[in-house]
Amino acid sequence: MREGKTDGIGELKAFLQQHPDRTDIIGALAWALACRGQHEEAVAMYRRYLDRLPEAIEPRWRMADRLVNLDRLHEALAEYRTVLEIAPDCADATMGIRYVLHLQRTGCHGSWVPGPGELSPSEIQHTNKELNDLEFREGRF
């Protein structure tokens, strides 16, 4: 993997066979699958993770991102809202909700949620996020 000859998915799956309850490996595999655009499999891994640690927020919003990619917006919205019940200040869930509501309002489909290794946000995107966060804190979303 370190030499770039493999994406590590096969190795992670093999390790998980030997250690099926290792949430760190489940999370790494889910992330690797997401990087490859294998969103269905990534969702299944995130669900497996949450079966073991239901209070974990990061795998839940990451799973919601994958659900958006799969155009399963109602499921994604429910997951983002669950995150906010656990962690009301989670910016990832807040932005996810805003994005899903935008997609639903405009009739667009959720074809892209930034994944691992995507470009960093532009200055305009960063400013927009700050404004979105402020509106959310003020209850204007």
pLDDT tens across 23-70, in order? Answer: 999 999 999 999 889 999 999 999 999 999 999 999 999 999 999 999
Q: What is the pLDDT of residue 92?
A: 95
Pairwise CA distance, residues 51 & 31, whole Å: 17
Nearest Cα to Cα of residue 25 among 59, 63, 70: 59
Type of residue found at 25 = I
DSSP state of 70: T
Instruction: Give the pLDDT confidence of 97-137 residue by residue, as tens digits.
Output: 999 999 998 888 765 555 555 556 667 777 777 787 787 77
DSSP state of 33: H
This model's pTM is above 0.75: no
